[in-house]
Amino acid sequence: MRIRTGVAVGLGSAAVVGLSWVSGLEPRQLPITAGAQVEQSAVVVPASPATPSSSAPPTRSRTSTRPSASAPPSAPKVVSGTVKGAVIRTQYGPVQIRLSYSGKRITDIQPLQLTDSSGTSVRISNRAAPILRRKALAAQSAQVDMVSGASYTSSAYLQSLQSAIDAAHLG
User: What does the alpha-carbon distance between residue 89 and residue 79 come to, in Å, rounded to a whole number?
Assistant: 30
Task: Provide the 8-state DSSP code for 151.
Answer: H
**What is the domain partition of the chain in residue ranges?**
1-31, 80-167
80-167: which CATH architecture? Alpha-Beta Complex (3.90)
pLDDT in tens, 60-85: 444 455 555 565 667 677 889 999 99
The per-residue DSSP string of 14-62 comes to HHHHHHHHHTTPPPS-----TT-EEEEEEEE-PPPTT----SSPPP--S
pLDDT in tens, 107-139: 999 999 999 999 999 999 999 999 999 999 999
Tell me the pTM. 0.60
User: What does the alpha-carbon distance between residue 133 and residue 131 come to, in Å, rounded to a whole number?
Assistant: 5
